[in-house]
Structure 1
Amino acid sequence: MIVQFSNGCGTGFSIVTARYYGSKNENELKKSVAASLILGLIISIVITIVSYVSMPYLLTILKTPKSIYHDSLNYIRCISAFLIITMFYNLGAGMLRAIGDSLRPLIVLFCSSIINIALDIVCITILDMGVFGAAVATVIAQVISTIICFFLILRKAKILIPRKEHFQIKSYMINDLLGQGFSMGFMFSIVSIGTIILQSGINSLGTQIITAHTAARKLISLFCLPLSTLAASMATFVSQNKGAQNYERIIKGVRLSNICGIIYPIFLSILIYFTAENLVHLLSGSNTHAVLQNGAMYLKINIPFFIVLSILLNLRNAIQGFGYKITPLFSSIIELIGKIVFTLFLVPTFKYLGVCFCEPIIWCLMASQLIYSYQKIIKPFKAQNY
């Protein structure tokens, strides 16, 4: 929830920067970068303090088993202590995407994930640091990715580097950045709140299910990187072209991103069908049949629905890039309500199978709402082009 809020703020800030880049207003672009850095610093400090203090209470509310409570607290407090790194990575990657550089942030994110997994193995199995080692691995990977992002900005994207006078921030800029940043931050957080509620249902199923689900979710996060990065790029892509008033290019870009989001999951689903249990074993270190079977089941059910997930992510970010704040937020509310319903009524009945089908069903509902909203938004521009 907390990390996703940081992700959302970074992406939201970059939407404003992208709009000024599209309209070729370099002075306002640099002001937006300067304001984003200041706001990012303030927001990250506040949420670090709040999250670090509140974690014991949140873990209790989540019904975290006593046998893993101490490890859970150490892990999440380590992540919370370095949220400033998370925030500034997202700012750096978002700013690169704002000026049309989508490839480098994707490469950095992919490399960071590989480094994270490698360090997980080193810290946990070789250095015997336990769960805390996983947190350390995550922080180190984020530090590396943040350094690389800002190095790339200094070397390859000097247009993003503000001067002293650009730090004299006006209220209109703060309002614009906070409006977009908080809109996306709350949108991502609402999604994560639903995930937290669902996690409370998963925790009641026992430690073997928790182990299986944790490994499967890590794999899902890795495999979802191309889709999530493509979707994040859509927000800035649409904002850039809105600034340039090139609506035909927006429509073509969204269509192409959806095609990519359909092709990738097809090949990934074939791969997962044959390797799911081995991948769960690799990440969990467990040979327990229940862990491998349940983790593999989650992957085999969810990954084919990446096609739906990709479309909803692309459309949600495209709508955000158009400047609409409430419509994308409404899709997140659908997800929150859906996960509450599953946690209260379906997970107790269908156990982990209910968890596996939870998100695919909700994704279909969200995608339907976003397709309808997107078609309404672009209808006037389609008519113009015709």
Structure 2
Amino acid sequence: MKNDLLSGKPVKSVVLFALPIMLSSLLQYSYNFVDNIIVGQYVGTQALAAVGNIGAINSFIIGTALGLTSGFTIPVAQKFGAGEYRKMNNYAGNSITLSLVIGISIVVVAHIISNPILRLINTPDDIFKLSADYINILYFGVPIQMLFNNFTGIARSLGDSKRPLYFLILSVLVNLALDILFVGKLGLGVRGAALATVISYFAACVFAGVFVLKKEKELNIKKSDLVPNKKIFAEQMKLGIPVSLQFTITSIGSMILQTAINGFGSSAIAALTAAGRVEQVMNIPMSGLGVANATFVSQNYGAGKYERIIKSVNNILILDLLISVFCSAVLIFAGPYAVRWFVSNPDAQMISYAKQYLYTIGGCYALVSLLFVFRNTLQGLGFTYANAIAGVGELLGRMLVSFLLTPYFGFAAVCFAGPVAWLLADLPLIFIYLKKKRMFKSLIEYK
């Protein structure tokens, strides 16, 4: 069931490891897809706009939380690659405890700040209550999502990318059934959609936890491993905080941009919600390869196999660029038709906004491939500060569009916010990676 990432052809190893991750990502995105489609079809455009309106806030809270767990499990993969299994169990156990404690803390803070943030981003009055109802239920799932993300991160660190997929399949089926029941049959609206998501994640988390703790052969977490160790705690936080900051910073940029979008009304919000979901699906192949390469890089970095790292990055970059060309074509030619899935009777203005957005980002999608390759590679190496730097670049890009360009170019400027953010994130990542690549080459020559 596991992939050997320390031997064989690097690109083949990464691609085979990435396939289940891509399917897992598709299933994770299906949560939003299912919620949005059922809410849009059963409740209406305003409800869809309400769910879409909280996207940036949701990324700010939940993305920040999940960013931490991504950093927590980096040493697990590195110690596995180095064959230091006792230390690997120490890191894995601490990551579980930290995920639960921090997740509970985030729930408390999130409920305090969510409504003020909704006001801050100029949420239209006609969707304010719907947005608040949806997001305040969704936040109860933060500790569950952190634990689930941590369990699957541990499994992937040990070379298993397949079983996490099975847990997500179960979760998606539960989510779909509950969405139909709560929203379609019981008429609970956006609150029902949020409740279905929380319950479905709980189901996936329970199964993932049981598997990781009981079935992973290399893993033998003792009770003492679950007790926070100050040294391990500090190291994991040092790795997790920059990744978390990346989500935090980019989400702040998204919230700033959402403020500008909200000025165009509910049709624009609904259009970008639907178009954004289509865009997320197109991200899956490149994102999956990036996440897989991060684990590949972590294990080989721990094993001191630097040549394999360089070869893998070169090949995955070429593959990602080719995929981005295909994704661009899909966004431009098929994207506008997919938008209609989300609303039964979309108005002409909504469709016009969605088309304009998809055409714009479709022409700039190669920038996304660079972002996924270099950000995940540096994360896998443990240089997570690069994530925070890239996040600052994305923030500056969205602020530039929101404050300087939108007043003059209107909705067209909103459509260019993503490409500008990607470009400003790519530049520092490429520079940092090339610097590390020179270091690896010198280490290879030294050997």
Q: Report the TM-score when normalising by structure 2.
A: 0.79
What is the identity, as a one-letter code, of the residue corresponding to 1:363? W
- Name the % identity: 32
1:191-206 map, 5 Å: 191-206=250-265
Contact 1:95-1:160 at 8 Å conserved across structures: no
| Preserved CA contact (<8 Å) 1:113 1:222 | no
Per the alignment, residue 99 of structure 2 pairs with: 40
For residues 124-163 of structure 1, the aligned pairs below 5 Å read: 124-125=183-184, 127-154=186-213, 156-163=215-222
Deviation at 1:298, TM superposition (A): 1.9
Counterpart for residue 323 of structure 2:
264
CA distance in 2 between partners of 1:107 and 1:251 (Å): 32
Of residues 234, 243, 261 in structure 1, which corresponds to 2:293? 234
- 1:167 equivalent to 2:226? Answer yes
Of 186, 189, 196 in structure 1, the residue corresponding to residue 245 of structure 2 is: 186
Structure 1, unaligned stretches of length 5 or more?
none
Cα separation, partners in 2 of 1:92 and 1:167, compared to 1, 3 Å? closer
What residue in structure 1 maps to residue 337 of structure 2?
278
1:2 has 2:61 as partner: yes
Residue identity matched to 1:209: A
Contact 1:11 1:232 in 2 (8 A): no
In structure 1, what is the Cα distance between the partners aligned to 2:180 and 2:251? 26
Q: 2:283 aligns with which of 224, 235, 239?
A: 224
- Tell me the equivalent position of 1:208: 267
- Mapped pair 1:307 → 2:366: yes
Paired with 2:261 and 2:177, the residues of 1 have a C-alpha distance of 27
1:17 aligns with 2:41: no
Give, in whole Å, the separation in 1 of the partners of 2:148 and 2:88.
19
Superposed CA offset, 1:114-149 (max 9, x none): 875786566545543322233234324433443443
Note the alpha carbon deviations across 1:58-91, whole angstroms, 9 max, x for none. 1111111111000000111011121111111210
Match of 1:342 in 2: 401
In the alignment, which residue of structure 1 is the partner of 2:314?
A: 255
Tell whether 2:409 aligns with 1:329.
no
Q: Deviations over 1:88-130 (max 9, x none)?
A: 1210121122112234446766886687578656654554332
Q: Greater CA deviation, 296-305 or 48-57?
A: 296-305
Contact 1:52 / 1:81 at 8 angstroms: preserved in 2?
no
Equivalent residue in structure 2 for 1:293, among 334, 352, 368: 352
- Distance in 2, matches of 1:33 and 1:52, equals 29
Taking the aligned partners of 1:110 and 1:250, their CA distance within structure 2 comes to 32
3-state SS, counterpart of residue 305 of structure 1: coil
Q: CA deviation at 1:288?
A: 0.8
Structure 1 residue aligned with 2:54: none
Letter in 2 for 1:26: Y
Deviates more, 1:233-242 or 1:119-128: 119-128
User: SS in structure 2 opposite 1:354?
Assistant: helix
- Partner AA of 1:300 in structure 2: Y
Task: Decide whether aligned partners of structure 1 residues 226 and 150 sit closer, same or farther in structure 2, where only a CA change above 3 A counts.
Answer: farther
* Cα distance in structure 2, aligned partners of 1:111 and 1:306: 32
The number of residues matched between the two structures is: 386
Q: Deviations over 1:175-206 (max 9, x none)?
A: 11111111211122111111111111111110
Equivalent AA in structure 2 for residue 157 of structure 1: E
In structure 2, do the counterparts of structure 1 residues 197 and 160 end up closer, same or farther at CA, with 3 Å as the change threshold? farther
Counterpart AA for 2:135: I
Paired residue secondary structure (1:282): coil
Write out aligned runs for 1:97-108 (5 A).
97-105=156-164
* CA distance in 1 between partners of 2:360 and 2:179 (Å): 26
User: In 2 relative to 1, CA 104–250 (structure 1 residues): closer, same or farther, beyond 3 Å?
Assistant: farther
CA distance in 2, matches of 1:27, 1:98: 15
2:434 to 370, 375, 378: 375
Quick one: distance in 2 between partners of 1:94 and 1:303?
31
SS at 2:416's partner residue?
helix
Counterpart selection for 2:236 from 177, 185, 191: 177
Question: Are the structure 2 counterparts of residues 353 and 119 from structure 1 closer, same or farther at C-alpha, using a change threshold of 3 Å?
Answer: farther
Cα gap change, 1:338/1:109 in structure 2, threshold over 3 Å: closer, same or farther?
farther
The amino acid of 1:261's aligned partner reads: D
Cα gap change, 1:5/1:220 in structure 2, threshold over 3 Å: closer, same or farther?
Answer: same
Separation in structure 2 between the aligned mates of residue 316 and residue 50 of structure 1, nearest angstrom: 28
Change (3 A) 1:188 1:94: same
CA distance in 1, matches of 2:282, 2:164: 16
Q: How far is the alpha carbon of 1:38 from its aligned partner?
A: 0.8
Counterparts in 2 of 1:86-101, with a 5 A limit? 86-101=145-160
- Preserved contact between residue 14 and residue 236 of structure 1 (Cα < 8 Å): no
Paired with 1:317 and 1:276, the residues of 2 have a C-alpha distance of 27
Q: Give the superposition deviation at 1:170.
A: 2.6
Q: Of the candidates 359, 362, 381, which is equivalent to residue 418 of structure 2?
A: 359
Tell me the alpha carbon deviations over residues 147-170 of structure 1, each in whole angstroms, 9 at most, x when there is no partner: 443354256523234122323443
Q: Distance in 2 between matches of 1:371 and 1:245?
A: 22
Structure 2 unaligned runs (5+)?
A: 1-59
The more displaced of 107-116 and 303-312 is: 107-116
Q: Which residue of 2 aligns with 1:76?
A: 135
Q: Which moved more, 1:145-154 or 1:94-103?
A: 145-154
Aligned-pair Cα RMSD in Å: 2.5
